Amino acid sequence: MTDGLSSTVRTGWRLAAARRAEGAVATLDLPVSTYAGPTALGLDGRGDHHLLLPIDKDHAVVEDARSAHVRVDTRLLVVDGRRRRFVDVVCHRHDLFDVFDEMVEALLQGINETPGEVGEVVERILQQWRELLRPSSGILGERELRGLIGELLVLELLAEAGLVGAVERIWTGPDRAAHDFTLGTRRRVEVKTVGVRGSTVTIHGLDQLHPSPDRDLVLALVRLEKTADGRSLPDLVEALSTSIGDRSGLRRQLAKAGYAETDADRYSDRRYAQSSLYAWSVGAEFPRLDVDSFKSVVPDEVVGVEYELDLVSLTPYAATDRCAGQLICTGSVQ
């Protein structure tokens, strides 16, 4: 791999970022080609890094979901107005981008040597780098695990209601969106998870509980009890993989949330049962801090806001259990 191409990879992300548009993957062609065309760097709306390797319509599907935060899928993308088929190698963890750059260089070296063997090159290089791409932080901590289980329980509710098509369009929490779930253009759902007696939640930013006149906002509170006969994270993932058609999308979102299927055994003895479910429709009277809390515009110097909200006094006014599920799924309680 020449120093020039190495420099192209490392500076290409900034060039791609300058081209990024909402809802699209910004791309930058690289001076290495497969038999189907030039390879490219890609940058999506979340900021994840993609290496796009074009393949023709007869090439076998290439997939790999075994790594913690690097995924491989075969995708159809519209580039320069033309629908094309790619092997998409994507890194979801920002703190692994430097390592991912080195892996991208190894992939491009392999493609340069054998441009007709995209699948074989990806499989070989990914296997060589797999352990280096596993984050040193290990498995999810207790707080992160409970938060993920809470979101998956709500995703399960939505799936049972037939509301889950493309997982990445619905479950937006792993993409660092303001809200955990985006249901069409009219409704957002934010999920908070606490212990069996918990009531205080952390609100991230001034947008998370900011009501909007053109959409509904629902705040859901999941209470979990740690119990030997509860469900583990792998149990939930397996159930969702059966009930949701978009398994690849589910795997990608789980990877972004920090769950690696290769670590399933390490979560098997951490089991929880949902003891209760609450939901509120967030309106003008709901207690919160948001952009309207300031007499004028939010000062430019304020670059982040996080606060604690105690929901204990609001639980008598919440929809609970089955009615909470209705509010989450439909925006109303019948």
Structure token pair of residue 167: 């997982």
Position 183 confidence tier, pLDDT thresholds 50, 70, 90 = very high
In this predicted structure, what is the pLDDT of residue 98?
A: 79
Are residues 168 and 78 located together in one domain of the fold?
no
Higher pLDDT, 125 or 252: 125
Q: Are the C-beta atoms of residues 281 and 212 closer than 8 Å to each other?
A: no
pLDDT bucket at 132, cuts 50 / 70 / 90: low
Distance CA 245, CA 300 (A): 44
Q: Would the pLDDT of 10 be above 90?
A: no
Residues 52, 73 share a domain:
yes
Whether 136 is in a domain gets the answer: no
CA 154 to chain centre: 15
Classify residue 105: in a domain, yes or no.
yes
Q: Are residues 108 and 182 in the same domain?
A: no
pLDDT score of 2: 55
For residues 124 and 177, membership in a common domain is answered with: no
Is 263 a residue whose pLDDT tops 80? yes
Q: Are 72 and 89 in contact (CB under 8 A)?
A: yes
Residue ending a domain, choose from 96, 129, 162? 129
Q: For residue 306, give the nearest of 319, 324, 294, 288 by alpha carbon.
A: 288
Within-domain flag for 134: no
Instruction: Give the count of domains, the chain.
Output: 2
Mean of per-residue pLDDT scores for the chain: 89
User: Higher model confidence: residue 31 or residue 4?
Assistant: 31
Do 275 and 190 lie in a common domain?
yes
CA distance 156 to 164: 9
Single pTM value for the model? 0.70
- Find how far residue 295's CA is from the centre of its chain: 35
Average pLDDT for residues 80-89, to the nearest whole number?
A: 87
**Res 46: pLDDT:** 82
Select from 129, 155, 188 the last residue of a domain: 129
- The answer as to whether 135 is a domain residue is no
Residues 146 and 218 in one domain: yes
Residues 105 and 209 in one domain: no
Q: What per-residue confidence (pLDDT) applies to 86?
A: 95
The reported pLDDT for the residue numbered 133 is: 64
**Domain span including residue 292:** 142-330
Q: 206 and 113: one domain? A: no
Compute the distance between CA of residue 20 and CA of residue 44 in angstroms, rounded to an integer. Answer: 7
Is the pLDDT at 176 greater than 90? The verdict is no
Residue 59 binned pLDDT confidence (cut-offs 50, 70, 90): very high
pLDDT in tens, 31-49: 999 999 999 999 888 888 9
Using pLDDT thresholds of 50, 70 and 90, give the confidence band for residue 135.
Answer: low
Residue 14 scores a pLDDT above 60:
yes
